[in-house]
Amino acid sequence: MKIKSMTAWQPGFKNAPGDWRMSLGQILVEVETTDGTVGVGVGGGGKAGIHVIDTVLSECVLVGEYETPNGFHKAMCDHTSFYGRKGIVPMAISGVDLAIWDAYAKTMNKSVYELLTDLPAPAVLPMYQTVFDDEEAAQAIESGKKAVKLHVERFGDRPEPCVIGDLVRATRKRLGADKAIMLDAFGRWDVETTLRIADEISDASVDWIEEPVRPDQLDEYAYLSANSSIPIAGGEHEYLAEGFDTLANAKAVNVFQPDINWCGGLTSLIEIYNIAKRAGIRVVPHRGGEPYSLPAIAALDRNSPLAESARSWFTCLDGMPVVQQSGVTLNDGPGFGVAIKPSYR
């Protein structure tokens, strides 16, 4: 397989977050093979990520020829190893890797799911809804969602445990006993706050507390995972298989949450699932209800698959997975089953 051209650009979105998640956020990547097959990927890094693709990644992707996407991925990681093991470079690599997987599957007239397993695809995958306020939580519950993740960043860096406890208990009462609740602190808390809140909600059957402290605080994560009464989740802002191997060796988290559009693409995500299997860690990818993570969730997690709701403002692709009350359905078209909408070109 040989790539003859590669293009990256950053589309604009209405109602997107007005912070680094947009300025350093989503980029579209399109590759074309020498036989004319086009692959589409989504990565990150904003204009900086585009520069990485146009310069150093093009130096190895456009000159190499490999049988599978793994060869391209290794070439990109090796080529950028002096400066690109975390952050913007892996975010850019993610978009290229996904575009190459998309083209690779299309050349074989298969879906990406079919490349990952011979097992029949599930009819539907369970999905949880991430909510940012009480109104969104009410809508998720009323629409019959099987699980809800409460984004609690709005309560500040050191919220009183009773405030979070009241929110969780009210949500539990409305959801019922058989549906899951998770919390996302977005790295705002410290160890003491996390432990106090975990104790406060220990009787509410909360599946995990996500990113309670900053992603670079490895010792704090390890302490929390060993001492919290609620499982600790992290990895949304971790990069490449090496980063997740470090998390596993440190026993830093109970749940991996890699973001396929940032962590290094599908090639990295497959390696992360292997690391998690060896370490006994659950994998629940960030924004798993979007088309790029969904095939891996369906193929590589046959025991407790769970997809996160897609972002409502991410509207640049045709072929987004269909959401129904029971969950989200897997695309069965060639590649990832997506195409870029003409208005986003």
Question: What are 66-86's pLDDT values in tens digits?
Answer: 999 999 999 999 999 999 999
pLDDT, position 21: 76
Domain containing residue 39: 3-111
Q: Return d(Cα 280, Cα 17) in angstroms, integer.
A: 34
Same domain (yes/no): 83, 9:
yes
Residues 33 and 165 grouped into a single domain: no
State whether 97 and 160 are in the same domain. no
Q: Do residues 68 and 121 share a domain?
A: no
Looking at the structure, do residues 241 and 161 belong to the same domain, yes or no? yes
In a domain, 343, yes or no: no
Dihedral angle computed from the Cα positions of residues 125, 130, 135 and 141, in that order, rounded to the nearest 10 degrees: 30
230 plus 130 within the same structural domain: yes
Residue 30 lies in a domain: yes
CATH number at residue 50: 3.30.390.10
Torsion of CA 102, 106, 111, 115, to 10 degrees: -80
Among 57, 90, 111, the domain-final residue is: 111
Convert the chain into a string of H (helix), E (strand) and C (coil): CEEEEEEEECCCCCCCCCCHHHHCCCEEEEEEECCCCEEEEEECCHHHHHHHHHHHHHHHHCCCECCCHHHHHHHHHHHCCCCCCCCHHHHHHHHHHHHHHHHHHHHCCCEHHHHHCCCCCCCCECEEEEECCHHHHHHHHHCCCCEEEEECHHHCCCCCHHHHHHHHHHHHHHHCCCCEEEEECCCCCCHHHHHHHHHHCCCCCEEEEECCCCCCCHHHHHHHHHHCCCCEEECCCCCHHHHHHHHHHCCCCCEECCCCCCCCHHHHHHHHHHHHHHHCCEECCCCCCCCCCHHHHHHHCCCCCCEECCCCCCCCEECCCCEECCEECCCCCCECCCEECHHHC
Please report where in the chains the tokens 């991410």 appear, as a residue: 314
Domain closes at, from 60, 91, 111: 111
Claim to verify: residue 176 and residue 312 sit in the same structural domain: yes
- The tokens for 232 are 């600790």
* pLDDT value at 17 more than 90: no
Residue 341 domain-assigned (yes or no)? no
The reply to whether 75 and 163 lie within a common domain is: no
Number of domains in the chain: 2
Query: CB–CB of 29/96 below 8 Å?
Result: yes
Rounded Cα–Cα distance for residues 41 and 335 (Å) = 10
Q: Looking at 111-120, 123-132, 196-205, 262-271, which range is the least confident one?
A: 123-132
Angle ∠(57,257,13) on CA atoms, nearest 5: 60
Does 222 fall in a domain?
yes
Domain membership flag for residue 344:
no
Over range 82-100, report the average pLDDT: 97
On the question of pLDDT at 134 being above 90, the answer is no
**281-306: pLDDT as tens digits:** 999 999 899 999 999 999 999 999 99
Co-location of 137 and 265 in the same domain: yes
Domain limit, last residue, from 72, 93, 111: 111
Same domain, 99 and 138: no
pLDDT attached to residue 145: 80
Does the residue 339 lie in any domain?
no
The per-residue pLDDT for range 37-65, each reduced to its tens digit, is 999 999 999 999 999 999 999 999 999 99
Dihedrals φ, ψ of 148, to 5°? -135, 135
133 and 282 both lie in a single domain: yes
Q: What is the pLDDT of residue 227?
A: 98
Cβ-contact 193, 158 below 8 angstroms: yes
Residue 338: inside a domain = no
Q: What is the mean pLDDT of residues 268-288?
A: 97
Q: Are residues 100 and 175 in the same domain?
A: no
